[in-house]
Structures are given as structure tokens and as C-alpha cells.
Structure 1
Amino acid sequence: MADSNRATFRRFHDVLNTGDAEAISKIIDEVVAPDLIFHAPVPMGATGVQALKHVWTVLLRAFPDLRVEIEDVIAEGDKVVVRNTVTGTHRGEYRDLPPTGRSVRYDEIFIFRFAGGRIAEVWGVVDVFAQMRQLGVVPGGAP
């Protein structure tokens, strides 16, 4: 089960890094359960698959060159845990902040629980503080 889940996650991840919103929406429909339970530090009114699609719409609008590099993957039983480094350039509105043209680099960790071969639940820990500091919202960021 762990190897199959890891392979599904890799397919999902590879499409996320294309920056192609339509392809991302299709892979979400393919590998994510419609009633996904999504725990992440993202304010929104959407739930399930729509919440995940909303996150990617917002991220790609704000950071069209967004790149998620996998640092570690651990798969055991019905879970896949991933530690990532995210990079991108702020070219669109993000969290009510107009484009700054600044680059960001931040870390995140996600736990994906699988059921029936699909992602059924996601927990995310994103270093939003580092992101906001680099965008100049929090003191100590790049000028």
C-alpha cells in the first residue's frame, strides 16, 4: 500500500510543478477523494476537492513560477509525509497584498492520508511567517 500511495503522490506532485492550472485540476479530480478533508493554514470557504483547487488557483495567480521541490518523502501504511521547499516570484495579488516582484523561498510539511488509492485527508504546516517576511509584510524581510 505504501509504495502505491507514494507513486500516486509522485504523479500528483509532478503535475503540480507544471504550473498548468487545467492539468492540476484534472490530477486533483483523478487522485483526490471528492470529500477530501483538508487541514491547512489557508483561509477559505471551500471544502473537499474544491478547497484544494482553490489553493492552487490562488498560488498560481500570485506565484506563476511556483516550484515545489521535494526534500523528503516517507510512506508508511496509508500515509505519505512530504517535506518541501517552495520557491516563486510574487507577480499577482496574494493575501490582499499587491504584486511585489519579490522572490520567496519557504518550507512546508504535508501529511497525506490515502483511502481507496486516493488522497482522502491532508494536513499542512507551511512557514507562512517566512513567506510574509520575504514579501515585506513582516519586518526583517528583503527591501
Structure 2
Amino acid sequence: MSAEASRSLVRRLYDEVLNGRSLEVIDQIAVEDYIENDPMPGQGEGRSGLRDRVSMLVTALEPRFTVEDVIAEGDRVVVRWRNRGRHVEPFLGLPASGRQFDIAGIDIYRVADGRLAEHWHVVDQLSLLTQLGFVRSPEGATP
């Protein structure tokens, strides 16, 4: 698969699935035995686990992802993104705060046979928890 095709595949996850809320697209873009290297509590395994993960995110956080960079090399695609949303439903055991958030993250995907096969990520979880009011900012810190 070309680097451009890999980038387009990953963009579909952000554009159609996460922002467009079209979970059925997951069946087209991810392998059945999809591997999540940092699953959320309650997330199943495989492609259905990816569907669980996306459902939890879009239901509780009403995210809107902005893809800032997409870099592809070999079978890996790296995405640097911003996520702005509002915490409207319980998420990972935390009651809905109603607060807005704006966080950054980086995802790495492995592509196999033209589909998403594996995922790793780094997300600014401390900033998320602080913005939602579950962690206090140190005195004098800028939120």
C-alpha cells in the first residue's frame, strides 16, 4: 500500500468515524483482529473493540478532531491531532461535567492488507482531567 493510500485510510477514521460518527465504516477500514495497545476500561478486543472505543469517545465527549499532521512510512502512519469537545456523559467512571476541553495527542497505526491493524497513542490525559475539573491545576499555573 502506498504512503498516500495509508494516509487516506487513517484520515477516514478521523473524518468519517470519529467526526462523522459513522461507526459502520470501521468494518471497511479495520482488520477483524485489530490490536489496541492501550485499551480503555470496558473496551473489547479486535475490530469490535475499536467500535467500543469509538462509541465511548463520541457518546461521552462529543469530540471534534482536527488532524494537524499525517506522516506515513512503511506500514506505519503517525497522526498528530487536536480534540475539542464537551464532556456530556459519564466517561471512564467520571460523571459528566458538562465542561469543554481542548487536548492534543499522537496516534500511531500499523496498516496491513489495506486496513488498520494496530494502534498506539499518547494523549494529554492530565490536561483533559484538569479541564474537566477532576484534577486541580497547581496554584499559579495557566490552564
Structure 1 gap ranges (5+): none
Shift of 1:41: 5.5
Asked whether the 8 Å contact 1:41–1:126 carries over to 2, the reply is no
Q: Give every structure 1 segment of 4 or more consecutive aligned residues whose post-TM-superposition deviation is greater than 4 Å.
A: none
Give 1:17 shift: 0.8
Matched with 2:8 is 7
Residue in structure 1 matched with residue 28 of structure 2 by the alignment = 30
Number of aligned residues? 137
Residue 47 of structure 1: aligned partner? 45
Q: How does 1:45-84 map to 2 (within 5 A)?
A: 45-64=43-62, 66-84=63-81
Output the TM-score relative to the length of structure 2: 0.88
Indicate if the aligned counterparts of 1:41 and 1:125 stay in contact, CA closer than 8 A: no
Structure-1-length-normalised TM-score: 0.88
Identity %: 38
CA change 1:45–1:88 in 2 (3 A) is closer
1:63-91 Cα offsets, whole Å, 9 max, x none, are 23x10111111011111100111110111
* Structure 2 equivalent of residue 85 of structure 1: 82
Query: What is the RMSD computed on CA atoms of the aligned residues?
Result: 1.7
Alpha-carbon offset, residue 99 of structure 1 = 1.6
Equivalent residue in structure 2 for 1:98, among 83, 95, 99: 95
- The Cα shift of 1:29 comes to 0.6
1:115 is aligned to 112
Contact 2:43/2:53 (<8 A) preserved: no
